[in-house]
Chain A
Amino acid sequence: MRISTAQMNFNGIQGFRKHTEDLYNIQEKLSSGKRVNTPGDDPVAAARIYTLDKSIKQLDQWNANGVYAQGKLELEDITLTNFTEVIQRVRELTVYGMNDTQNITGRRAIAAEMRGLLENLKALANTQDSNGEYVFSGDKSTTPAYQAVTASNVSQLSTGLQAPQPTNYFTVGTGAAITINRFDGVPTTVTPAANQIVDNFNAKLYTLNPATQTYEDASGEALYAYTGAHSGARFVQLSPDNDHVDNSNDNGDAARVRVSDMGAKTFGNYSKSSATPWQPSYALDKTPQLNYNAFDTIREAINQLETGQRATGTSSLDNLLVEMDTTLNAISKTHADVGTRLQRIDMQNSMNQDFKLGLSSSLALMQDQDLVSGINQYQKILTSLQMSQQTFAKISELSLFNYIR
């Protein structure tokens, strides 16, 4: 074949161009450490990289959610541990006070200690997290879980989230006699004065203290009621959700973990619901007890110990002990539940980590440059470039004109 001078130059330049371009490409890959630097390097891999990156970020997000949930639940866990310890001490003291060897002074001393513990329990039930949210108020997280019943909030104490309550906890007195259908089915007639409220559940009377504006029992102890939410809870997503919907009920779904609890369920002996009054929303192990919550129960126990008498019937200390056990049961149920949730977060997080490891290694496989083969290739291209430079230099020296003198 005839070769023209232009061809010779063209060939040489073509070689330089190709090798320089290859060198540039491999250098880009080696210096970034990535095989795919732009989608054009490998479009299929690029789309996959985006998807993998999205999945990894998603797992990171779920893990971050898990860490958040853990923080919240651990606070709950510690609070419940403390609460249990305190209430067990209260129970011990009650048993101690029931002892026939105790005289009235001893019982009063015991009652005084129990009063201190009661304040402690109230504080624990109103524990706030670092954001100032009340841990045991459910969705009404900006309202304390338990509050003293006052003249201003007594009318609001039927708050529930589901539907307006047909009956309130309390009836405000007018001086007229009213008949209360007690929880145990015994109709009781009471006559509350205008400054008194009657408990619709057990027909007890509480009087307004003009100084504190709170309703108090005969011993001057304020009445406490649950003011948090009765339904609805916060759920945090930990894993893929099939329907991608968080429903506004207490059920949540398999992908989410509950991070808020309701005091009524945790510390209550009883709770009310929307259906008919005085039915528990959450089934408890025991039959309904006399008092709404642990605070009522302990207050009753303190009252009895202070009077130095042992009442009989439903308000007897024996019955109050049973109620304390009910509370302890309810707490231990929530406590166990919190523990299970914490464990679930742990498990889900380590599962997410494993999954992420898998995804990351496929991402690396997809995206990262194999350094050994890259350097090998780099050497090869460099050698080729040098070779084409040298041959071009040699060939361009050849010319017949050099020999014509």
Chain B
Amino acid sequence: MADLLLTASSGLRAFQQALNVTGHNIANVNTEGYNRQRLDIGSGTPQLSAGGYVGTGARTTSINRVYQEYLSNQLNSSYTAQSKYNNIDVYSTQLNGTLGNPEVGISAGMQSMFKAWNAMSNDPTNSTSPRFLLDSHAQLAMQVENYDSLRSDLHDQVNGQLSSSVTQVNRIMNELVALNQSLGSLNQRAELPANDLLDKRDQLIKDLNKYIDTKVFQNKDGTIDVYSSDGKIPLITDNRAIPLYTKESPMEKFDLVNGAPIKSQQLEIYIQMPGTSRETLVSGNIRGGEIGGALAFRKDQLMRAEDELGLSITGMSIAMNAQHRQGYDASGVRGADLFSLNGKPPVLMANASSYSNSSNTGSGSVSITGTPAAEFAYKLTYNGLPADTYDITDAYSNAVITAGVTAAALAGGVTYHGVTIANGGGVSQKGDSFVVYTTTDFHKSLEQSAYKDKRNSGTLTNNDISINLNKQGLSVNPTDLSNPADLAQVQKQLALLQPRTYSMSFDGSFYTVSDARTGQIITLDSTTTAANVTTLRFEGLQVDIDQNTRQMNPGDKFEFRFLDDAVSQFSSSLSNPDKVAYRGGDLSTTPVGSKPLAIGNNVNAANLASLQDKKLLNNGQNTFKAAYSVMVGNVGSYHQTNEVSMQTQDAVNSQLTQVKDSISGVNLDEEAANMLRFQQAYQAAAQIMQASQRIFDTIIGALN
């Protein structure tokens, strides 16, 4: 027979349990990742008695969480995207914020430099003009350096975040493994789920998604496997965590002279499969979370901006160096480089140059032989008959080097710094003068070396590969650019430069050059090999691979960051205001332009000032500043696109959170109502107990 007391007490127990669950819900109303729980109460097995089956009270069957797995998965993937875009925004805002105002920064630096060149052109003989000009060059170099330090600061921030995020990911993975273990042993009975542990695991997966995108696979034993990047990177398999770790990028570059690393390295993320020693670079695959965001920012915004800025700065430097070399300074010496793109000291050309002054009345000339050992610029002045001697003075300071060199001595040749100056024939008149000077190699101030992949098996070092402007078509190689046709050729190559970082691979017989960011294969203009030096020409550049002492193996990789490195090494290399080559070369001489025009001429300064609005870059489409504004526009549109994605993901995420909360979240009013409901039921069950007591008492009393 059904026992009223037992029935009532089953109700009491059930409702107490229900109140417990309600209390648990209320207590966890603000717990992150908590899913509300429900107690399932069923009726007890009825017992057969006279007149039919009589119920035996209530039984709690299970406590379940109100949970939708698909919602949880969707929420995780939107969370990882949201966290990615949010993180990009943090970086992008910094880069974006520095470029807003054209009145400051590199753009303004270029503006004031060209302003100074205009002043130089207007007022070439004014002694303050070249000083202002060189100040403006130094200013520009400072602006570029400011940008460079911002750039490397952003790289450091990315590096810092990558290592701290990786630490977090590894910590969460370890917690997950521990949780997996306990769930694996507890979760044997599916009808009695360990709700709070499951909630905790879900929350950990969500936390993991903050840093990295994940895919979760449920195993039959209740444990889970976690993968990242669409299953490409295993994080937890067989309940073993495969930790991520950060290490410097395999691309490295060392200084030729002292072997020091040239630039702070970028960190990359690696994994090492348990039981093997092979490490795999995985940062290229990670798409989501803060790690994915930091990597995407570095690749798609920062490195692109570096290349684009590099194009503007490099193009400007090369064009201005080339133009400056067309002119002569006040002392009649040909202009040298204004800017250096590798921070190295200039390299002297193998031959010195000389000319007889245009104002000479005689037909005399000087000849020069020998390789200069040091930089110098001398002026020879003929004293006329009857002395028949020459005075040799410094072209800049007018300090006397040797006075009274006799015509006979000059005929035999006099040697200074390895250069022998001799009479070149003709008859000199009194007052005639000749200038002998050294020039530097145009290409040596541009040359960069490659980055080597550490994993290469060949012995070829980064310094065996040099990257330079394409020298093809120039009249002499290497050259001082004294031929005006060479200027046109240099400008032609400039137009071909692209804002790219290149990567090169070698398969044993062929070289493949591709864009390091997009992977696009670059068509080579030509590949030639002479004396074990292979020369690749593409997009206005020339890469010389010297395999005389060290060799490449098939599969070896190198990277060329010509433009990017140029920005970090950019410096103003002209510091003497007397050496500003403002006047033009005389086009009526042979060779063309080999003598300077008169002291008050401004042609070269005017031409340098005119470069400001000459469309030399991007296939003749852009001026230096326009190329710069392309960079600004791209930084801006990346930022804006990211902001839109961020807002979209915010909306998606909040929508999904709403839906999830709507299903799984605790509503206090509902819980209050439940509390009242269960409280009342509890009281009723207690009343039943009382009733049973009374029945018992009645019967006992009747017996008395």
* Category for how many chain B residues contact A: 35 or more
Which of B71-79, B335-343, B663-671 touches A? B663-671
A138 in the interface, Cβ–Cβ < 8 Å? yes
B166 in the interface, Cβ–Cβ < 8 Å? no
Contact with A along B577-620 (1 / 0, CB 8 A): 00000011111100000000111111100110111111000000
Set of chain B residues within 8 Å of A155, measured between Cβ atoms:
361, 384, 429-431
| Smallest CB gap from A236: residue in B | B122
Which one, B124, B603, B665, B669, contacts A6 given CB within 8 A? B665
Most chain A beta-carbon neighbours within 10 Å: one of B360, B625, B657, B673: B625
Contact with B along A155-170 (1 / 0, CB 8 A): 1101111111100100
Which one, B93, B114, B600, contacts A139 given CB within 8 A? B600
Contact with B along A130-151 (1 / 0, CB 8 A): 0111000111111100000000
A5 touches B633 (CB 8 A): no
Which of A60-68, A82-90, A295-303 touches B? A60-68
Set of chain A residues within 8 Å of B597, measured between Cβ atoms:
139, 161, 232, 248
A372 in the interface, Cβ–Cβ < 8 Å? no
A47 touches B630 (CB 8 A): yes
Contact with A along B463-475 (1 / 0, CB 8 A): 0000000000000
Most chain B beta-carbon neighbours within 10 Å: one of A140, A160, A162, A234: A234
Most chain A beta-carbon neighbours within 10 Å: one of B92, B626, B634, B636: B636
A39 touches B668 (CB 8 A): no
A156 touches B588 (CB 8 A): no
Most chain A beta-carbon neighbours within 10 Å: one of B92, B430, B602: B602
B99 touches A156 (CB 8 A): no
Q: A234-B602, A248-B597 are in contact. Are A141 and B99 (CB under 8 A)?
A: no
| Smallest CB gap from B629: residue in A | A50
Q: B115 to chain A: closest CB distance in Å?
A: 6
Q: B371 to chain A: closest CB distance in Å?
A: 31
Q: A13 to chain B: closest CB distance in Å?
A: 10
A138 touches B633 (CB 8 A): no
A176 in the interface, Cβ–Cβ < 8 Å? no
B359 touches A156 (CB 8 A): yes
Q: A6-B666, A141-B599, A246-B607 are in contact. Are A46 and B358 (CB under 8 A)?
A: no
A140 touches B599 (CB 8 A): yes
B118 touches A61 (CB 8 A): yes
- Chain B contact residues, majority secondary structure: helix
Restricting to A159-186, which residues have a CB under 8 Å from any CB of B?
159-165, 168
B636 touches A40 (CB 8 A): yes
Set of chain A residues within 8 Å of B369, measured between Cβ atoms:
none
A218 in the interface, Cβ–Cβ < 8 Å? no
Cα-based distance from A207 to B666 in the complex (angstroms): 120
B477 in the interface, Cβ–Cβ < 8 Å? no
Q: A248-B584, A400-B673 are in contact. Are A131 and B431 (CB under 8 A)?
A: no
| Smallest CB gap from A11: residue in B | B658
| Smallest CB gap from B637: residue in A | A43
B100 touches A38 (CB 8 A): yes
A260 touches B673 (CB 8 A): no
Set of chain A residues within 8 Å of B639, measured between Cβ atoms:
38-40, 43
| Smallest CB gap from A131: residue in B | B126
Q: A50-B628, A64-B118 are in contact. Are A140 and B598 (CB under 8 A)?
A: yes
Chain A: interface residue total (CB-CB under 8 A): 77
Set of chain A residues within 8 Å of B456, measured between Cβ atoms:
none
Restricting to B560-580, which residues have a CB under 8 Å from any CB of A?
none
Most chain A beta-carbon neighbours within 10 Å: one of B583, B598, B609: B598
Q: A6-B29, A248-B603 are in contact. Are A40 and B666 (CB under 8 A)?
A: no
A39 touches B636 (CB 8 A): yes
| Smallest CB gap from B607: residue in A | A246
B610 touches A244 (CB 8 A): yes
B359 touches A399 (CB 8 A): no
Q: A50 to chain B: closest CB distance in Å?
A: 3
Cα-based distance from A46 to B264 in the complex (angstroms): 31
A39 touches B633 (CB 8 A): yes
Set of chain A residues within 8 Å of B673, measured between Cβ atoms:
400
| Smallest CB gap from A57: residue in B | B111
Cα-based distance from A315 to B675 in the complex (angstroms): 133
A39 touches B99 (CB 8 A): yes
A39 touches B96 (CB 8 A): yes
Cα-based distance from A65 to B111 in the complex (angstroms): 15
B1 in the interface, Cβ–Cβ < 8 Å? no
Restricting to B302-348, which residues have a CB under 8 Å from any CB of A?
none
Q: A6-B661, A10-B654, A50-B625 are in contact. Are A58 and B613 (CB under 8 A)?
A: yes
Cα-based distance from A55 to B670 in the complex (angstroms): 67
Q: A155-B429, A158-B361, A244-B611 are in contact. Are A47 and B636 (CB under 8 A)?
A: yes
Most chain B beta-carbon neighbours within 10 Å: one of A39, A158, A161: A39
Set of chain A residues within 8 Å of B92, measured between Cβ atoms:
40
A-B contact pairs, 27 of them (CB 8 A): A2-B670, A5-B669, A6-B30, A6-B661, A6-B666, A7-B665, A10-B654, A10-B657, A10-B658, A14-B654, A37-B100, A39-B636, A40-B635, A41-B640, A46-B632, A54-B625, A58-B613, A137-B600, A139-B598, A139-B601, A142-B599, A162-B588, A237-B118, A244-B610, A248-B597, A400-B672, A404-B675
Q: With contacts A5-B669, A241-B613 known, what are 7 further pairs, Cβ within 8 A?
A: A39-B99, A43-B635, A57-B115, A69-B122, A137-B600, A142-B600, A155-B384
